[in-house]
Structure formats: structure tokens, C-alpha cells
Amino acid sequence: MRLLLVVAALRHGGAERIVVQLAADAVRRGDAVTVASAGGPWVERVRAAGAGHELVPLDPRSAAVTLRSAGRLAAVVRRFRPEVVHAQNVRATLAAALALARPGRRPALVTTLHGLAPADYPAAARLLRLAGGTVIACAPAVGRSLLAAGFPAGRLEVITNGAALASPSEPELAAVRRRFAVGSRPLVVGIGRLAAQKSWPTLIEAASSIRDADVLVAGDGPLRAELEAAAAAAGGRVRFVGPVERPAALVGLARCVVSTSAWEGLPLALLEALGLGAPVVATAVDGVTDVVPRGAALLVPPGDPAAVAAAVNRVLTEPGLAGRLSRAARGASAAWAPDAMLARYRERYAACVTAPRRDRRP
């Protein structure tokens, strides 16, 4: 099979991690794979997996950029001749659909939607209907939101994104301890994009009531400078340390991992932390409550700093609680095993290749 994966960019993020996993799995099985994106630090991960990379300017967001990207992507399609084009999220899908709008037998188009702000689903459903192809929701909550926005059920599947990290070694733990000057106080860790969705100001406010602990957030994004300034103004209780390429050791040092998101499609960094057995405090938003069972994490209302602080303090001080959460989290992690996700996608790709397809323009 010849597979073309299309993603806006290859930066640190959930959709990007899924693309790397899909590319590596397809190459291991003997498929020819190319990834089209605007580039980024994870291009090397794609190449190390044995896949090719084509530079297509899918960033930044604008109609003009999408049209230019479609032209570049059409040239990639002509050269690479994929049987399946798998686009991540709406913008990449629009560019792919335009690139495939030419006479002749088209490759199959598959879209994965990795989650949107609630207000964005109606427009996304309209655009994805027009683009054609099968749409895969990365989590049940995303599928429900698309259906509620009017997307046809017959073109929708749900394949829960897979997330897992290998346990860190003692040298890795020691290196991260030195890098971030982790001392004897308990460490509370947040991991994720520095964007409005993640609601890091909630953690900054909560930190003033988290007792006798250091709070550290790993990640990058458009709000980094703003969040660093807000943390400094609030007393410097939260450190923003930038992206961490291999976060397992940071999770391994954490006494508690915190997610304060206002909404989620499926939070891969959180699921990875749970898979390592980290005690977790997270907001009870759809993308979390769908997959994290009761007892595997402490769930609190979104936008409530006092509730976040109280839950973290419980994890740090209540006898036996951290151990119970850790055991339940490890048990729950089988539900989001990467192997299960990869097997489902292989089935979807095979169905696309063997199914008869009409020659048409989207």
C-alpha cells in the first residue's frame, strides 16, 4: 500500500504523535509512506521511522494558505501516487480534498478529527461533509459532537487514539532531576500545549494553595510568554520549562500530574501519564470522562482553581490515595493501547484500498 499522511505541521502535539505512530507502523509492514506537512522538529522522527517527508505550507491558518497548500499537495499526489490519503483535522482535509479534485480515479480520503472547541463543530461538520471520504473521531466525545452537528453517521467511525510511554530508566530520571533542578519537595507536573484550550491560568491560580510542592509545566505554544508573565506575577510558584522531547522521566518524578483543560478531544499526554501509573488530577471534560474510569484519577470541574488545589493536596497528603490511583490508572490504560489503534487503522486502510471508488470531484 502507498500511504500519504497529511498534517498541518510536525510540532509537539497529539495529532503529530499519532502521525508518527501511523507512519512507523505502516513502514514496518512494508508500505510506502510519505508525510506532508509544514515541517517542524518531528520531521526527523518521521524520517527515522523510514517514511518520506514533503514540505507543504499548511501553516498558518488562512484560506489563501489552504489554497496554496492544495496546489503543492496535488504535485505530491502526482509524484507519490498514494492509494490512501489520510489527513489530520479539518484544514489538512480541505487541502487534501482540493488536491484530489481532478479527473480520474482518486485515492481514498480518510480524515481523523482530533477534537475541536465546542463552538467549532457545526462548521467542521459542514466542511467535512463537502470534502468527502470517511471521518474518524479520535474519541467517543468527538464522534458524538460531530453527529450532533449534523455529520452523517454512515461516514463516521470512532478509533480511540493510542497512547503509551516506556518506563524511564534510572539514568533518565537522574538526568531530568538535574536538568530541572528537582529537589526533595514533591513535584506536580502539567504537560501540554501552551494554548487557551489547556487553561493553564487555572493551574497558576491553584498553585498558591498547593502546599509544600514545586509545580512545573512542560510544553510550548502561542501563550508561552503570556503564561510565564502571569506565573511570575502570581509569585513564581509555576515554572514553564518548554517542550520536553521524552516526557516519561518527568512523569516518573512527579508525585501528581495535572490537566486543567477547558475541553479535550483526547488528551494523549494525560493518557501517557496514566499508563505510567502517575496519580492524576484532571478536569471532568468529555474527552477525559469518556476514557478515564472512576477511580483512575481525581476529576474536578473545569475552571475551578480551588478544586484543582484541593485535589492535588489530597494526592500529596492523603495516605494510600496516590497508590490506589496509580494501580487503577495502570489497569485502565489497556483501553487506549497503541497496538489496538494501529490495528483499527490498518483495517480502515485495507477497506479503502479494496472498496470500489467512484471517479468524482469533491
pLDDT at 362: 44
What is the spatial distance between Cα 176 and Cα 269, in angstroms, rounded to a whole number? Answer: 17
Q: Render pLDDT for 227-276 as a digit per residue (tens, 0 to 9).
A: 999 999 999 999 999 999 889 999 999 999 999 999 998 899 999 999 99
Q: How confident is the model at residue 356 (pLDDT cuts 50, 70, 90)?
A: low
> Helices 89-99 and 121-131: crossing angle, nearest 10°?
20
Q: How confident is the model at residue 106 (pLDDT cuts 50, 70, 90)?
A: confident
Phi, psi (rounded to 5 degrees) for 337: -65, 135
Helices (H), the chain: 14-28, 43-48, 63-80, 89-99, 121-131, 140-148, 170-179, 200-207, 224-233, 248-253, 268-275, 286-289, 305-317, 321-332, 338-354
| More reliable by pLDDT, 280 or 65 | 280
pLDDT at 105: 73
For the chain, first and last CA: distance in Å? 23
Over 50: is that where the pLDDT of 361 sits?
Answer: no
Q: Render pLDDT for 45-81 as a digit per residue (tens, 0 to 9).
A: 999 999 999 999 887 777 888 888 999 999 999 999 9
Nearest to 99 by CA among 133, 122, 123, 125: 133
pLDDT at 315: 98
pLDDT at 21: 96
What is the spatial distance between Cα 35 and Cα 51, in angstroms, rounded to a whole number? Answer: 7
Task: Indicate if 170-336 has the same CATH topology as 2-162+338-354.
Answer: yes
The answer to whether 168 and 145 are in contact (CB under 8 A) is no
What nine digits make up the cell of 273? Answer: 501519564
The answer to whether 65 and 77 are in contact (CB under 8 A) is no
Nearby residues of 84 by Cβ (< 8 Å), 6 or more positions away: 1, 2, 3, 4, 107, 108, 110, 349, 352, 353
The CATH number, out of the four listed (1.10.357.10, 3.65.10.10, 3.20.20.80, 3.40.50.2000), of the domain defined by the range 170-336:
3.40.50.2000
pLDDT at 102: 76
pLDDT at 104: 67
- Map 335-360 to HEC letters: HHCHHHHHHHHHHHHHHHHHCCCCCC
* pLDDT (mean) for 289-308: 95
Q: Render pLDDT for 110-145 as a digit per residue (tens, 0 to 9).
A: 999 999 999 999 999 999 999 999 999 999 999 999
What is the spatial distance between Cα 30 and Cα 14, in angstroms, rounded to a whole number? Answer: 25
**Torsion over CA: 317, 321, 327, 333 (sign):** negative
Domain ranges of the chain: 2-162+338-354, 170-336
Q: How confident is the model at residue 357 (pLDDT cuts 50, 70, 90)?
A: low
The answer to whether 57 and 8 are in contact (CB under 8 A) is no
Q: Range with the lowest mean pLDDT among 32-41, 95-104, 133-142, 187-196?
A: 95-104
Q: How confident is the model at residue 360 (pLDDT cuts 50, 70, 90)?
A: very low
Mean pLDDT, the chain, integer: 94
Nearest to 292 by CA among 308, 279, 303, 310: 279
Measuring CA to CA, how many Å separate 122 from each of 125, 130, 198, 315? 5, 13, 22, 39
Q: Which CATH class is domain 2-162+338-354?
A: alpha beta
Q: How many CB atoms lie under 10 A from the CB of residue 149?
A: 18
Q: What is the pTM of this model?
A: 0.88
Give the total residue count for the chain: 362
Task: Burial-class residue 216 by CB neighbours within 10 Å (0-12, 13-18, 19+).
Answer: buried
Cα angle 167, 315, 231 (rounded to 5 degrees) comes to 85
Q: How many CB atoms lie under 10 A from the CB of residue 353?
A: 15
The answer to whether 178 and 188 are in contact (CB under 8 A) is no
